[in-house]
Amino acid sequence: MVAEDPTDSEAIRASFERPDAFEPIFDRHYGAIFRYLARRVGQDSGAELASEVFTIAFARRGTFHTDSPSARPWLYGIAANLARRQARTWKRRRRAGKRFNHTDAIWFDPAAEDRMDAENLRSALADAVSKLRSTDREVLLMHALTDLTYREVSEALAIPIGTVRSRMSRARRQVKETLLAGGQVALAAELTEAGDADAS
């Protein structure tokens, strides 16, 4: 018998006999998954993909390791795959000469008071991130746009934690170098501080 407030593992196990038992997974994690995807691909696409994450998760719930208490890293892994697929679709459309506009996609939450400065910072950071290798970019975005630990990023992306650490280190270093080369000294310093905080 499942407790009144089941853990993610309990809810997923119970859903094999009672599909409605999967509902707490959606209720607990939809907001976080939507915010992650909205920042990756924009609000509209983010809402569409977030719903798809849970459709896929339900269909593939047999792949969830029920010894994990939280389904969050697993769900983020599905979301990252969908975001990559969306990016490939956009690239194909651009190559095909179709109009491409995803200006509502947000790479980070600027804290600057002045919107123009915030837009400039966002543009500089997005440009720096776009120059990373795709594997490094994925780890950086997964960590920066969620509250996942390195261990959870490792679980979400199905890579060793040492690989997460090395990719994060390389990504931060390269983004910092690109920002400094573009005269974004303050933003580069913030990135360094964030990296130091993660390492502590």
- pLDDT per position as a tens digit, 2-19: 447 889 999 999 999 999
Instruction: Identify the residue whose tokens are 């892994």.
Output: 77
Distance, CA of 150 to CA of 142 (rounded, Å):
9
Distance CA 164, CA 149 (A): 10
Please indicate, yes or no, whether the overall pTM of this predicted structure exceeds 0.75.
no
Q: Which pLDDT score, from 0 to 100, does residue 111 have? A: 36
Rounded distance between C-alpha atoms, residue 90 and residue 92, angstroms: 5
Task: Share the mean pLDDT of the chain.
Answer: 80
**Whole-number Å distance between alpha carbons of 84 and 137:** 11
Greatest mean pLDDT among 143-147, 150-154, 177-181, 194-198: 150-154
Which amino acid is residue 161, in one-letter code?
Answer: I
79-110 pLDDT tens trace: 999 988 887 776 666 666 654 444 444 444 33
